[in-house]
């Protein structure tokens, strides 16, 4: 099941699972939930990766992952959530109906939303079924809107709807008549350090785990597709699939700019990933490339479907046009799974961000001095500036950073003038900066105080944004798997030394060693970053007049008008730049799309047209 739900007045008498709706009454059409040994009903969404090991350990035959979870829970109790490796969300209803247990797997999992009062608990993997029961009023939570537009996602249990909560990854909740209690049963900080004498062992261990991850992701699927870019993550994934299934086609979908794109990019990025994918396909005849330019499409493509299913606005609406097209083409070709490598930057292809700050705190002065020299050459600045910005300031109090900005020694862009579409007054009224500071979120995006600080925050944040991915699966009828989120791989990569990722100026060092000879040299040695939707200036320019008119209407809206800096967004659109480079880029590429998408979502919920 891709989506599950239960609406259970106490005591619970019936549980009905469906893709998008749930109810407490009505014919269940022959479906029966899995059962534990004590008769508890188990609702399961997601997949278990180590099912072969678990069935062997329990001495049972596999019937379904739901049945396997029920058997594991019967045998091991709460520890089953850690012994089972995979991405899953579960609801367990005790026979008495007096207790309902909710859980999500660590690292990554299908979403799980819930609402409760003194008599009822309603749970589903998407918000829509909660409102379909008629028990929950659909009201936008403006604090969530404000925090999200400020890119502060640390308050993960808070959803876009007042009174509706979300369970985090690696968490369990137990609902009883007295209320709902939540526990964190998984802690990234508790992972032990892994140290080998021979550094070749790190490459061997990571490679073995990566192979396991791909094997598990492909289990049960016959016609895989992949979202393939010029980056290390998806290239590694495509190469491993081709190696593990020789002679079997792998349909690869790559987002490319429209033919009329001007080709303008920053020096640190490349905008057309086609040459890199062609090079990989030249090594592996199993890879069948498809170039997805999604011509003429942009911010509003299938956006209402995403709103309806995900129950939230996407944070990357400027990329969704080609992603929708890739999924649609894959489904039309009969593919049964879409592979992606979104977690790679946190796991095996981590670039070492934060390593210099760790060196500074640990007193590794000589190594810090050497790495700073490499960074200074790459960024054309001084060694001392590199040490100050990447090693000293990240660990210093906020007032030090503010002082350096005032003195002109460091740059810090004003969020409200660049990437944030919020009206400054609205942001102040909702305390977004204070809330960000209290949560440890940095809106100026300084370099992190350690590599673990950065990666832990990304892992935690990713667990709150699974709804968009589930919505894509439901819209296009194809499942998604990300082998780079395989828990043993992520845990291993979080636990090894920083110098496996950054040494002698070489970043992503672990991935580059793992992939030597497996992917093209032009990919393995590339130091620039690929950028998706590089032709945003072309696509946005076509919609410019309509967007100006929409912003004018939004400025008069009683809810949206005070929320967004519609005046600033309109002015930037009116002063249309001739190129995608320049001071206006962050506001046009980031703030405008995010602000408009959020405004459209709010109006969608309120039943208003744009």
Distance CA(180)–CA(297), nearest Å, equals 44
> Nearest 5°: phi and psi at 120?
-135, 150
Tell me the two tokens of residue 331: 């489904």
The secondary structure of 579-605, three-state, reads: CCCCCCHHHHHHHHHHHHHHHHHHHHH
Condensed to tens digits (0 to 9), the pLDDT of residues 281-301 reads 999 999 999 999 999 999 999
Q: Please determine, for residue 463, whether its predicted confidence score (pLDDT) is greater than 90.
A: no
Contact between residue 466 and residue 162 where contact means Cβ atoms under 8 Å apart = no
Per-residue pLDDT at 469: 94
Q: Please determine, for residue 10, whether its predicted confidence score (pLDDT) is greater than 50.
A: no
Distance CA(267)–CA(272), nearest Å, equals 13
Domain at 200-348+465-530, CATH class: alpha beta
Q: Is 190 exposed, middle or buried (0-12, 13-18, 19+ CB in 10 A)?
A: exposed
Q: Please determine, for residue 15, whether its predicted confidence score (pLDDT) is greater than 50.
A: no
What is the average per-residue pLDDT within 295-318?
94
Tell me the two tokens of residue 374: 């490499």
Distance in angstroms between the alpha carbons of the first and the last residue of the chain = 34
- Our separate counts of H helices and E strands in the chain read 26, 17
Per-residue pLDDT at 118: 84
Q: What is the mean pLDDT of the chain?
A: 91
Distance CA(245)–CA(19), nearest Å, equals 31
Residue 49 pLDDT level (bands cut at 50, 70, 90): very high
Condensed to tens digits (0 to 9), the pLDDT of residues 349-399 reads 999 999 999 999 899 999 999 999 998 887 767 888 888 889 988 888 877
Tell me the two tokens of residue 260: 């009329």
Residue 14 pLDDT level (bands cut at 50, 70, 90): very low
Q: Please determine, for residue 35, whether its predicted confidence score (pLDDT) is greater than 70.
A: yes
Pairing of strands 529-530, 171-176: unpaired
CATH number for the segment(s) 5-127+164-186: 3.60.20.10
Per-residue pLDDT at 71: 97
Q: Please determine, for residue 19, whether its predicted confidence score (pLDDT) is greater than 80.
A: no
Query: Among residues 48, 107, 524, 104, which one has the least CA distance to residue 347?
Result: 107
What is the average per-residue pLDDT within 574-601?
94
Per-domain residue ranges of the chain: 5-127+164-186, 200-348+465-530
Query: Among residues 598, 565, 514, 109, which one has the least CA distance to residue 316?
Result: 598
Condensed to tens digits (0 to 9), the pLDDT of residues 69-81 reads 999 999 999 999 9
What is the average per-residue pLDDT within 423-431?
97
Per-residue pLDDT at 424: 97
Condensed to tens digits (0 to 9), the pLDDT of residues 166-207 reads 999 999 999 998 899 999 999 998 999 999 999 999 999 999
Distance CA(303)–CA(603), nearest Å, equals 13
């Amino acid at each position: 099941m891709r989506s599950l739900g239960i609406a259970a007045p106490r005591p619970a008498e019936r549980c009905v699972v469906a893709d998008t709706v749930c109810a407490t009454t009505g014919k269940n059409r022959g479906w029966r939930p899995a059962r534990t040994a004590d008769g508890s009903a188990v609702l399961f969404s997601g997949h278990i990766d180590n099912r072969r090991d678990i069935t062997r350990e329990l001495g049972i035959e596999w019937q379904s992952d739901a049945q396997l979870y029920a058997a594991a829970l019967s045998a091991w109790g709460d520890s089953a959530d850690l012994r089972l490796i995979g991405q899953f969300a579960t609801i367990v209803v005790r026979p008495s109906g007096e207790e309902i247990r909710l859980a999500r797997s660590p690292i990554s999992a299908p979403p799980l939303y819930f609402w409760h009062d003194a008599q009822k608990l309603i749970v589903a993997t998407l918000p829509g079924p909660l409102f379909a029961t008629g028990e929950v009023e659909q009201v936008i939570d403006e604090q969530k809107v404000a925090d999200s537009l400020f890119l502060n996602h640390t308050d993960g249990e808070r959803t876009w709807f007042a009174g509706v909560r979300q369970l985090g990854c690696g968490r369990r909740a137990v609902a009883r008549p007295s209320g709902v209690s939540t526990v964190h049963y998984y802690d990234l900080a508790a992972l032990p350090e892994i140290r080998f004498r021979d550094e070749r062992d790190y490459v061997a261990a990571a490679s073995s785990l990566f192979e396991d991850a791909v094997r598990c992701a492909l289990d049960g699927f016959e016609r895989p597709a992949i979202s393939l870019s010029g980056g290390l993550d998806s290239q590694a994934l495509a190469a491993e699939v081709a190696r593990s299934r020789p002679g079997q086609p792998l349909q690869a979908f790559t987002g490319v700019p429209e033919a009329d794109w001007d080709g303008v990019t920053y020096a640190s990025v490349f905008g057309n990933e086609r040459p890199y994918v062609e090079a990989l396909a030249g090594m592996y005849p199993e890879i069948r490339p498809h170039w997805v330019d999604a011509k003429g499409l942009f911010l509003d493509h299938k956006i209402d479907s995403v709103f309806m299913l995900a129950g939230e606005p996407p944070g990357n609406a400027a990329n969704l046009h080609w992603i929708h097209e890739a999924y649609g083409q894959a489904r039309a070709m009969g593919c049964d799974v879409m592979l992606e490598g979104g977690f790679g930057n946190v796991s095996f292809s981590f670039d070492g961000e934060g390593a210099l700050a760790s060196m500074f705190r640990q007193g590794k002065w000589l190594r810090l001095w050497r790495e700073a020299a490499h960074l200074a050459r790459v960024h054309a600045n001084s060694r001392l500036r590199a040490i100050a910005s990447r090693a000293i300031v990240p660990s210093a109090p906020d007032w030090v950073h503010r002082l350096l900005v005032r003195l002109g020694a460091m740059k810090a862009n004003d969020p409200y003038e660049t990437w944030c579409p919020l009206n400054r007054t609205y942001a102040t009224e909702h305390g977004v900066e204070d809330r960000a500071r209290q949560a440890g979120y940095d809106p100026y995006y300084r370099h992190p105080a350690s590599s673990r600080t950065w990666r832990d925050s990304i892992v935690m944040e990713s667990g709150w944004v699974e709804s968009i991915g589930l919505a894509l699966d439901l819209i296009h009828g194809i499942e998604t798997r990300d082998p780079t989120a395989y828990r043993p791989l992520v845990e291993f990569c979080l636990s090894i030394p920083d110098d496996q990722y950054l040494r002698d100026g070489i970043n992503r060092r672990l991935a580059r060693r793992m992939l030597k000879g497996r992917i093209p040299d032009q990919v393995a040695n590339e130091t620039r970053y690929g950028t998706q939707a590089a032709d945003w200036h072309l696509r946005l320019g076509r919609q410019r007049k309509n967007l100006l008119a929409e912003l004018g209407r939004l400025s008069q809206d009683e809810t949206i008008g005070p929320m967004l800096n519609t005046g600033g967004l309109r002015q930037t659109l009116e002063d249309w730049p001739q190129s995608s480079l320049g001071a206006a880029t962050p506001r046009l590429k980031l703030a405008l799309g995010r602000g408009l998408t959020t405004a459209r979502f709010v109006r969608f919920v309120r039943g208003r047209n744009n």
